[in-house]
């Protein structure tokens, strides 16, 4: 039996990059998987096709994480379509990086809405559907632990907030058998941070392993935390960063 056989999941921002890899890995482990996306309908549909090719149910939901009603609506739609919700992966994130003097109110509000408020309201909504064995996994960032370049004040702040959210929710939901954890990816080869991008060489040099992660490297740890074997892990942060924070 696969580790998430018979479970159902929602992955926010599952059309590309790390979120797509997580959605496919959870399907491989036996789960039916819904995913949200903001704009890229074609990529979202492609991930759903791959999920269905594995014999699982897939569902793509257009939902901007900056919109509270869209986020809670996506959680409810996934739970209603699949008849239950066992796993929530808060993955969608914005990456607004600039010198602090150039980061205005709009960038602040957008970053906090997508990177902090959305994981919080999605977790609240998901918890209403979850029972014993429920799993909430959020995607933070290595930049929450080590902001090595200028320009990351807003992004690093938003990802650090997830540490507190994870600990608090673990206490709130632990008595119901729901675990809540956080994964900090290091440099991962996606559209947002391509391994052949202009700063890739410098970024690579900051890891102990000397190379980027593939999205599947992050997905493997998320799938472990979402699976039955991780039932006694809660409130913690796992770095999958190639030694970036060492
Ligand atoms: P990508 O840019 O490759 O993919 C982003 C995904 O999130 C897409 O599916 C996109 O949808 C979706 N998305 C973006 N904004 C929203 C929104 N407002 N509402 C709904 N969906 C949205 O990013 P990554 O895979 O690189 O990043 C995923 C997560 O990992 C983020 O939280 C990021 O901060 C974190 N991370 C990434 C690292 C890296 O090196 N790549 C390192 C550390 C952390 P659409 O296709 O419609 O645009």
DSSP states of 5-33 = TT-EEEETT-SSHHHHHHHHHHHHTT-EE
Q: Note the pLDDT of residue 179.
A: 98
Q: Which residues line ligand 1 (CB under 6 A)?
A: 12-19, 36-40, 43, 64-66, 91-95, 114, 139, 141-142, 185, 187-188, 190-193
pLDDT band per the 50, 70, 90 thresholds, residue 3 = confident
Question: Is 127 contained in some domain?
Answer: yes
Choose one of 12, 13, 63 to mutate for the ligand 1 pocket test, by most ligand atoms within 8 angstroms of C-beta. Answer: 13
**Ligand 1 centroid from CA 55, angstroms:** 26
Report pLDDT for 4: 87
In a domain, 246, yes or no: no
The verdict on residue 175 lying in a domain is yes
What CATH number corresponds to the domain at position 146? 3.40.50.720
Q: Which atom of ligand 1 is nearest to the CA of 14?
A: 9
1 CA from centroid of ligand 1 (Å): 31
Q: What is the pLDDT of residue 147?
A: 93
26 within some domain: yes
pLDDT at 223 over 70: yes
Please give the mean pLDDT across all residues of the chain. 97
Give CA torsion, residues 199, 202, 208, 209, to 10 deg: 60
Give me the pLDDT at residue 194, please. Answer: 97
- Give, for ligand 1, the residue of 93, 115, 118 to mutate: max count of ligand atoms closer than 8 Å to Cβ: 93
The residues that bridge with 33 in the sheet, in sequence order, are 9, 58
Domain presence at residue 1: no
- β-strand pairing of 135-139 with 87-90: parallel
Answer whether residue 236 is part of any domain.
Answer: yes
Query: 190, 203, 214, 221: which to mutate for ligand 1, most atoms within 8 A of CB?
Result: 190
Domain assignment present for residue 101? The answer is: yes
Residue 161 is predicted with a pLDDT of 98
The per-residue pLDDT for range 9-40, each reduced to its tens digit, is 999 999 999 999 999 999 999 999 999 999 99
Total count of domains within the chain = 1
Residues in the chain: 246
- Residue with CA nearest ligand 1 atom 34: 93
CA of 131 from ligand 1 middle (Å) equals: 28
What digits encode the pLDDT tens for the residues 152-181? Answer: 999 999 999 999 999 999 999 999 999 999
Q: Can you tell me the distance from the alpha carbon of 186 to that of 184, in angstroms, rounded to the nearest whole number?
A: 7
* Numbers of helices and strands, H then E, in the chain: 8, 7
How many Å apart are CA 212 and CA 236, to the nearest integer?
23
Specify the DSSP class assigned to residue 191.
Answer: T
Domain membership flag for residue 245: no
Q: What residues make up the domain containing 225?
A: 8-240
Q: Which atom of ligand 1 is nearest to the CA of 35?
A: 9
Q: Which of the residues are catalytic? A: 155
Nearest atom, ligand 1, residue 192 CA: 2
């Amino acid at each position: 039996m696969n580790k998430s056989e018979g479970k159902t999941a929602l992955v926010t921002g599952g059309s590309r990059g790390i979120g797509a890899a997580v959605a496919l890995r959870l399907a491989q482990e036996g789960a039916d998987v819904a995913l949200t996306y903001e704009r890229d309908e074609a990529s979202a549909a492609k991930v759903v096709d791959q999920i269905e090719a594995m014999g699982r149910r897939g569902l793509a939901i257009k939902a901007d994480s900056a919109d509270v009603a869209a986020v809670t609506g996506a959680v409810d739609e996934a739970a209603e379509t699949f008849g239950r919700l066992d796993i929530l992966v808060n993955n969608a994130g914005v990456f607004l990086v600039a010198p602090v003097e150039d980061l205005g109110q709009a960038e602040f509000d957008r970053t906090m809405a997508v990177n902090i408020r959305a994981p919080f309201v999605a977790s609240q909504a998901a918890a209403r559907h979850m029972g014993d064995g429920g799993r909430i996994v959020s995607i933070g960032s290595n930049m929450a632990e080590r902001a090595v370049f200028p320009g990351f004040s807003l992004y690093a702040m938003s990802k650090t907030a997830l540490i507190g959210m994870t600990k608090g929710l673990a206490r709130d939901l632990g008595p119901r058998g729901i675990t809540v954890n956080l994964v900090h990816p290091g440099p991962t080869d996606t559209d947002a941070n391509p391994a052949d991008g202009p700063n890739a060489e410098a970024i690579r040099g900051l890891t102990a392993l000397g190379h980027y992660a593939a999205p599947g490297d992050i997905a493997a740890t998320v799938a472990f935390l979402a699976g039955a074997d991780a039932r006694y892990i809660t409130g913690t942060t796992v770095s999958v960063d190639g030694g970036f924070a060492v």
